[in-house]
Amino acid sequence: MTYSDSAVLNIDLAALTQNYQTMKTAAKGAQTAAVVKANAYGLGLAPVVKTLLAAGCTNFFVALAQEGVDLRALAPEATIYVLNGLPIGAAADFAAHELRPCLTSPEQIAEWQDYCQNQAKAALPACLFVDTGFHRLGLSQSQVVDLADAPDAFEGWELCLIASHLACADAPEHPMNAAQLEAFRFALSLLPKAPASLANSGGVRLGEAYHFDMVRTGTMIYGGSATGRVEDALAPVACLRAPLLQIRQLSVGDSIGYGATFTAAREMTIGLVSLGYGDGLSRYFSGKGGAPSPAHLMLNGHPTALVGRVSMDSLAIDMTDLPAPLRAEAKIGDMVEVFGPNNPIDRLAMQGQTISYELLTALGNRYKRNYHD
């Protein structure tokens, strides 16, 4: 087709490389792994991984076993960790694809050990994931103590990494960060000596005490902020733009969109944009209580508020207060910046009471994706 009526997602691979190198520098000598779960945060696993490999990244983290299998096909020599652990009966598949499970329970440790000793007959590497206060996946402190009293549990397989995850790294002053650091150090003191990893993107910014041997960088390399503050973000990697489908006038008393939730209190100029929740922009960005949404999109460098409900395939923006020449020159097909260099993704996320992680990972499949350096 020679035209496009869909949104366009531009992905700046040079910015991705720059952000990875920035985080690598901030890690001050610790290995800098990349988290590429959820299709590389929605930006596309293959081009992202190819770029990161070229930037010197050798360690990757995914959430699911299938993500690890897909990644292995792209990165035959990379070290790949699976955060969600070892599914029951999956040890042979992990071994076949050289995936390293993050073992999160005594049962997973026993299954990996049994496979290594009785079927693989080789000491295959795995990560031990401990809970230091997040209370999500991982061995509890009491389980770590029990494990330390059972040294035979480490026979027959290779403990290649001990890891945990910070709950409040996005809030540098939160006391839980220091508490988790202390708990992690306690776990390390009990367990066999192995490389250690605690810091995610936000954790890198907490200082060298949190870096240990490896840091795991996710949102920061994709241009999001680990704190949610726009000023803390690195170079924007993704720019989402969508075309204007129609420009129309509303009279006083006219409503717009499903549920007639927004009614014009004045003469208004409205732009209909080819983007909706079918493209990953949640209905939560809709205006509420008859008011425009707090979220703004950018038209030719000027902010425009969302009005009415976000529907599956379209949304409405208020063009009324644009400078008169700009409003007069606006035309069908003009591109509206949803997020990007002129509308930071963290600012849009904050306006929609969400986080940039959710905006990125919710990106749909209808976009035309352009990758460039």
Q: What does the pLDDT look like over 23-43, one tens digit per residue? A: 999 999 999 999 999 999 999
Class of domain 238-372: mainly beta
Span of 82-86, 118-122, 210-214, 364-368 with lowest mean pLDDT: 364-368
* pLDDT tens sequence across 196-235: 999 999 999 999 999 999 999 999 999 999 888 888 889 9
Question: What is the model's pLDDT at position 4?
Answer: 64
Look at residue 303 and tell me whether its pLDDT is greater than 60. yes
Amino acid identity, position 211: H
In whole angstroms, give the CA distance from residue 187 to residue 191.
6
CATH number listed for the domain at residues 13-232: 3.20.20.10
What is the average pLDDT across 164-188? Answer: 96
Distance of CA 170 to the CA centre of its chain: 14
Look at residue 3 and tell me whether its pLDDT is greater than 80. no
In whole angstroms, give the CA distance from residue 40 to residue 42.
5
Are residues 46 and 80 in contact, defined by beta-carbon separation less than 8 angstroms?
Answer: no
Distance of CA 153 to the CA centre of its chain: 34
CA quadruple 311, 313, 319, 323: dihedral sign: positive
* pLDDT tens sequence across 321-345: 999 998 889 999 999 999 999 999 9
Percent of the chain at pLDDT above 90? 89
Q: Which residues are catalytic?
A: 37, 258
pTM, to two decimals: 0.94
Are residues 126 and 112 in contact, defined by beta-carbon separation less than 8 angstroms?
Answer: yes
* pLDDT tens sequence across 245-296: 999 999 999 999 999 999 999 999 999 999 999 999 999 999 887 888 899 9
In whole angstroms, give the CA distance from residue 109 to residue 128.
8
Are residues 159 and 195 in contact, defined by beta-carbon separation less than 8 angstroms?
Answer: no
Every domain of the chain and the residues it spans: 13-232, 238-372
